[in-house]
């Protein structure tokens, strides 16, 4: 039995505020991809989808002259570092097992090497799943952060993932 559901995380005000910056549609798509990859790489789908949903919780919107500036983002961003800390604190606060919260936070920290000089990381399976899921939904110039989704559709998709995780269902094709 899980301590915390994806819905618990998704509906939390901290998550909702963070998703305004990083993109709700992107976060949900990455969680869906993570579920699929978790099955492929024999990773706990609960941990993978939680890490994927929260992987960009540390994002800050980088604007110059009132317009999104992808280059400024690329040179200044440390969202994985901030996000790992923020996610860990949130998960513990809402009742997640502390060891699970730490494992999820580390996966968030390592989902990108963009903050490392000439970074190349050797990832553990959960960390690899979250990184692959994020890459699967990426668009050029960070456009994946600006896809839109209606609130009720987002919640339906989160609930569907919770159901799949609770029932141990396997993905049979593409995004679940």
Q: At what angle do helices 125-137 and 45-54 cross, to 10 degrees?
A: 50
* Per-residue model confidence as pLDDT tens digits over 36-83: 999 999 999 999 999 999 998 887 766 677 676 777 777 777 788 888
Rounded to whole angstroms, how far apart are CA atoms 121 and 53?
Answer: 21
Whether this model's pTM surpasses 0.75: yes
* Per-residue model confidence as pLDDT tens digits over 92-145: 999 999 999 999 999 998 887 666 656 566 788 998 898 899 889 988 877 787
Rounded to whole angstroms, how far apart are CA atoms 38 and 33?
Answer: 8
């Amino acid at each position: 039995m899980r301590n915390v559901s994806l819905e618990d995380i998704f509906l939390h005000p901290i998550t909702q505020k963070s998703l305004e910056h990083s993109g709700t549609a992107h976060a949900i798509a990455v969680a869906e991809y993570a579920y699929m990859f978790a099955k492929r790489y024999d990773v706990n789908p609960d941990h993978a989808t939680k890490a994927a949903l929260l992987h960009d919780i540390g994002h800050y919107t980088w604007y110059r002259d009132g317009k999104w500036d992808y280059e400024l983002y690329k040179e200044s961003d440390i969202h994985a570092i901030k996000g790992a800390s923020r996610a860990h604190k949130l998960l513990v606060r809402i009742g997640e097992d502390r060891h699970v919260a730490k494992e999820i936070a580390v996966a968030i920290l390592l989902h990108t090497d963009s903050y490392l000089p000439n970074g190349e990381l050797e990832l553990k399976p959960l960390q690899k799943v979250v990184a692959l899921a994020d890459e699967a939904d990426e668009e050029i110039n960070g456009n994946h952060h600006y896809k839109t989704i209606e609130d009720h559709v987002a919640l339906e998709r989160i609930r569907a993932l919770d159901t799949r995780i609770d029932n141990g269902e396997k993905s049979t094709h593409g995004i679940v």
